[in-house]
Structure 1
Amino acid sequence: MGFDVAGEAYDRFMGRYSRPLAERFADFLGVEPGQHALDVGCGPGALTEPLVARLGATHVAAIDPSEPFLAACRARFPGVDVRLGTAESLPFDDGVHDVAAACLVVHFMDDPVGGLAEMARVTRPDGTVGATVWDLAANRAPMRPIWEAMAEIAPDHPGERDFQGGSRASLVAVLEDAGVRHVESEELSVTVTHPTFEEWWEPHLHGVGPVGDALAALGADGRERLEAALRRNLGPGPFELTAVAYAARGRA
C-alpha cells in the first residue's frame, strides 16, 4: 500500500478532504479542553491539528507506521508526543487517554478489531473511542471519479468497496467487536471546489494509497486512457466534489 511518501504528497492528494473531515470528526467526538487525546494513524496530522487547537500540544499524542508522515507531523506540531507504531500494538499504558480516535485509518489496519481493541485499552473507562472512514461501499469517497472511470478502463479492478469499515454497518461492527460500548454513528460530508481538472488530477500521480497502486498497475497507456475518461466525465473545471464518511464513537 502506497503510504511511504512525503507528508506533502499525501496532503496534496487527500488533505484537502481529510482536514475539513477531521474538524467535523473532532466535533462528533466531543473533544473539549482538559482532555488528553490520541490520534491513531495520524499521517501528516489532519486530525492532530484540531486536537492540538482544542487541547494544546502537550495533551495530544499521535502514532503512525510511516516515518515520512511522522516527520511531517512532528514538524507541524511541536510538543505533541509523536511515536512510530501501529494501532494493533499501541505503546501506551492502560487508560491514559480520554479520547482515542482514528481518522481514515480503520480500513487500512491489518486487524481492525484488534486495533480498535487496543485503542479502547489505552482509553480511560467511559472515555471515547471513535473512528471515521469514507463511505467506500457506496463509492462516496473523494476517489469516486477515479473508480468510476476505472470501471471503464479496468473493469476487473476491485476498487475499495469491500474494505473493512467502509460502510456504516461495517464500521459500527468493528467497534462493537472490539468491545467498545454504546456505539453510535453519523454521516459526515465534505465538499471541495476544484478550480481546474489539473489541480484535481495531479496529486493522484504521486503513488499514494490504493489509487496510487491502481494507477501504477495501469501503465502509461492505461493512465492516458483513464485520464481521457476523467476529463470527459469531470470537464475542465471548476467543479465540486462531495465526499461522505461514516463516523462512529462509543465508550471504552
Structure 2
Amino acid sequence: MSEASRHDAWQAGDNYDLYMGRWSRQIAPRFLDWLDAADQLDWLDVGCGTGALSIAILDRCDPKSLILIDPSEGFLKRARASTADGRATFEVGDAQALPVDTGSKDMIVSGLVLNFVPDKGKALAEMQRVARSRGTVAFYVWDYPGGGVEFMRAFWTAAAALDPHARDLTEDRRFPFCTADGLANLAKSTGLTSVDCIQIEVPTLFKDFEDYWHPFTLGAGPAPGYCSSLGAHARERLREKLYDSLPRGEGGAIPLKARAWAVKGVAG
C-alpha cells in the first residue's frame, strides 16, 4: 500500500457523513437534474457510499428499481438505515467487477468514487457492460486539481506548511485527471459516446471552527486519515494554524465552496 493510499480509510459511514456526506448530498440533486432521466428506469449506483446519490434518485427520479453497490459493508449499513424503499437493493461489490447482469440497467451512475478506483477504465467498461443499448453512464468527482473543495485545500495547505511530506498526500497530486478535459477524455477512451461535462458548485458553510475541524479528527478519508496519524502535539499545531488561516463570516461561520465535475455519456 502506498504512503498516500494508506490514509484512504472509508469504512466508517457515520464519520464519512460528517466529513463529506453532508456536502455530497447537495451535489446529488443538481447532478440528477442535469441527467433529466425518464421515469420508471432501472438504475445502478456504483460506489453508493452512505447513499446520498441513491436517496436523491429515489426521491426525485421515480426509478423502477435501484441497485446500490459498494465494497464497504459499513457504508452499506448506513445506506440501508437511510432508506426503507422497496425499490432499492444493496450489494457488496467492486466497481471493477460488478455483480450485475449484462445489459440490465438503463442508468448507471457513480458519485465521488471513480478517483479511488484502481483501474478506472475497467470500472467504466463494467458500467457500460451492464448498460442496456443506448443506456446512460454518468459520474461526478470533486475538482481536486482546481482546488474545488476549499475546506480540503485549506487543510492540506496548512498541513504542508508544517510537514512538507503532507504535500504528496494531497488529492490534487494524487488525482490530476479530475479535470473537465481529463474526465471527458477518460470517458471517451472507454467507448462512451455523446460525452458531456459540466461543473457543479455548492456552498460548504461551517457554523464555526469546531464544525470545520471535528470531521478531520475522525479518520474517514485521506485528510482525516492523515490528521489522525499525527501525534497530539503535531495535531494541535495543525489545528492552531487552520484556526488562524480560515476565513470568517457572520457569527464566526466559515464560508467556503465545493466544486465537482460531472460527466455523462451513452453506452453502445
Residue deviations 1:155-181, cap 9 Å, x none? 232201131642222211221222111
C-alpha separation between the residues in 2 aligned to 1:174 and 1:164?
12
5+ residue gaps in structure 2? Answer: 1-7
Does the CA contact (< 8 Å) of 1:106 and 1:164 recur in 2?
no
Which one of 56, 76, 82 corresponds to residue 76 of structure 1?
82
Amino acid at match of 1:120: Q
C-alpha separation between the residues in 2 aligned to 1:248 and 1:168?
8
Which one of 103, 118, 131 corresponds to residue 110 of structure 1?
118
SS of the aligned residue for 1:156 comes to helix
Shift of 1:117: 0.9
Does the CA contact (< 8 Å) of 2:108 and 2:127 recur in 1?
yes
Which one of 39, 61, 66 corresponds to residue 33 of structure 1?
39
Pair 1:211-2:244 in alignment: no
Amino acid at match of 2:230: L
Match of 1:2 in 2: 9
Pair 1:153-2:162 in alignment: yes
Pair 1:92-2:105 in alignment: no
Shift of 1:76: 1.5
C-alpha separation between the residues in 2 aligned to 1:23 and 1:164?
26
Match of 1:238 in 2: 253
Residue deviations 1:18-60, cap 9 Å, x none? 0011111111222331112111100010101111113457511
Spell out the pairing of 1:155-170 with structure 2 (5 A cutoff). 155-157=164-166, 158=168, 159-162=170-173, 163=175, 165-170=177-182
The two structures, once aligned, show a CA RMSD in angstroms of 1.6
Change (3 A) 1:41 1:164: farther
Residue deviations 1:92-148, cap 9 Å, x none? 111211111110001100111110110111111111101111111122114121112
Does the CA contact (< 8 Å) of 2:43 and 2:63 recur in 1?
no
Does the CA contact (< 8 Å) of 2:143 and 2:261 recur in 1?
yes
Tell me the TM-score normalized by structure 1: 0.94
Tell me the TM-score normalized by structure 2: 0.89
Aligned-pair identity in percent equals 37
Which one of 233, 242, 247 corresponds to residue 221 of structure 1?
233
Which shifted more, 39-48 or 167-176? 167-176
Change (3 A) 1:96 1:188: same
Does the CA contact (< 8 Å) of 1:128 and 1:250 recur in 2?
yes
Which one of 69, 72, 81 corresponds to residue 63 of structure 1?
69
